[in-house]
Copies of this chain bind each other. A is one copy, B any other.
Amino acid sequence: MTLRDVAEEAGTSRSTASRALAGHGYVAGGIKTRVEEAAARLGYVPDVSARTLKGRSSGLVGLLVSDLRNQFYALLAAGVEQALADAGHQMVLVDDHGRDEQALAGARAFLAMRAAGVLLAPVGRSATGLLVEHGTPVVEVDRRSGVRGCDAVTIDSERGARDAVAHLLGLGHRRIAVVLDETMWDTGRDRLKGYRAAHREAGAPLPRKLVLDLGLRPGDPQADVASFLDANPDVTAVFAANNVVAEAVWQELQRRGSAVPADCSVVSFDDLTWMRIVEPGLTAVRQPVYEMGRRAAALLLERISGERTRAESLTLQPALQRRGSTAAPGVRA
């Protein structure tokens, strides 16, 4: 079932059929409908490979994430898909499971399929580099690798963290722990910066040794949280730097029967479904994740279409969502 068949069915040449279906170029009205009817009758579906080979874009856009099972990335992917589909593009989704080799393999696949552009949410630096080098339009999402020439959409991590910690300080907490799982990317680093900045701005002394870094592949994060809390019984509040560590913290507090917020207040960076369902609701820094996906895709589409050539960075603002998990030290919700 090729264009040739359609042309024969309509009694015309392949080029005319091509023009009739593509819409550009001159075609007589009568012929045009005849070709369209023939195509419909035969159930003709144009071959993207042939079109791509001829120099036009594949219409495919790659999205690389580091863990699709994490609701954060799922939402991001949903936003990206939405914006791409509206523009008639397809999304090729690759999950690197946090491994740089897989990220590279994904990037190579994107190159091989001549992807119109790529969105990168994992950012091992190597994938970004490879793609940019080959001239593929790239937008980094959530994290930045520092490679020049690519667009980026991020969320103001420092600001979100500062707001969260300032909220706790405002309630009177002075022994606030921060729990994170990486400081190698700007997300983790900036959230730590925000934690410090909030203390500075409040004129509160920066507690020593209240930073717990679980690492990206923790054996048993909840156990680590447990021993940390055992070692620091004077902690009255915890700032969890993302949804994964927030879960570990929450579960551990539950396990040991700590009353939240009476014994310990909790704030999470990243606001997922369960945080508003649990009792008392978990105070969280809401990130516009779906929106971030949409905006990133939009930025990429501008690049692809050539409307814009200069790299652009967008920073979205998070918002603190106050719920029952935060109160003054010792106070019940």
For residue A330, CB closer than 8 A to chain B, the reply is no
For residue A22, CB closer than 8 A to chain B, the reply is no
* 38-87 of chain A: CB within 8 A of chain B: 43, 45-50, 52-53, 58, 60, 68-69, 71, 74-75, 77-78, 81-82, 85
When chains A and B are docked, how far (Å) is the Cα of A52 from the Cα of B47?
10
For residue A200, CB closer than 8 A to chain B, the reply is no
Known contacts A75-B69, A81-B68: A53-B49 contact under CB 8 Å: yes
Stretch at the interface among A171-179, A217-225, A273-281: A273-281
Cβ contact within 8 Å between B274 and A111: no
Residues of B near A102 (CB, < 8 A) are 85
For residue A230, CB closer than 8 A to chain B, the reply is no
- Kindly name the residue among A50, A52, A68, A250 whose own CB sees the greatest number of chain B CB atoms within 10 A: A68
Cβ contact within 8 Å between B274 and A133: no
Tell me the count of chain A residues lying within 8 A, CB to CB, of chain B.
Answer: 49
Residues of B near A266 (CB, < 8 A) are none
Name the distance in Å between A270's Cβ and chain B's nearest Cβ.
13
Cβ contact within 8 Å between A279 and B279: yes
Complex A-B: 24 CB contacts under 8 Å: A43-B134, A45-B111, A45-B134, A48-B113, A49-B49, A49-B50, A49-B53, A50-B53, A68-B77, A69-B75, A69-B78, A71-B74, A85-B94, A90-B109, A90-B113, A91-B94, A92-B92, A93-B93, A251-B277, A254-B277, A272-B274, A274-B274, A274-B278, A277-B277
